[in-house]
Amino acid sequence: MSSSPERSPQGTPATDGPRPRRLTYAAVLAALEGLALVVGGVWILVLGLTGDPDDRQQAVTGGVTLVVLALLPLLAARGLLARRSWSRGPAVITQIMALPVAYNLLQADSMAIPAGIALAAVAIAALVLLLNGETTRALGIRGPGNAQK
């Protein structure tokens, strides 16, 4: 008998226990990042359409791009809450992509520095939560050499 959870055909761990808090916190952080991208994208889009930008097409494209990029962390957050094993990959990718953005914000001589600090803190905290052993077990992810036979 194996100590790792059995998996259902949908790729979710077959556990009836409560979702670990670390997994819930990771999902919340991913969702917050996704919501921030949506808000930023809508803000840029609205300013591009109603304001007087240098390049209206570039502003609209940037806004739409941010809204579309928001789908990755939002879908990952939904998958994490539902304990889908596939969701950890997109969530980790989102955090890794956030780190260079945070670094660039920290290099600015403006009000962007606090945003860079916040983004870096959220990305690092989310990575720690996502790579935690308890989270891995709750998602039914097996490490190398632990494949079911």
Residue-wise pLDDT tens digits, 36-49: 999 999 999 998 88
What are the helix and strand counts (H, E) for the chain?
6, 0
Determine the length of the chain.
149
Between the alpha carbon of residue 112 and those of residues 36, 54, 101, 147, the distances in Å are 14, 21, 11, 45
Low-confidence ranges of the chain (pLDDT < 70): 1-16, 143-149
Q: Hey, where are the domains in the chain? A: 21-138
pLDDT computed for residue 78 by the predictor: 97
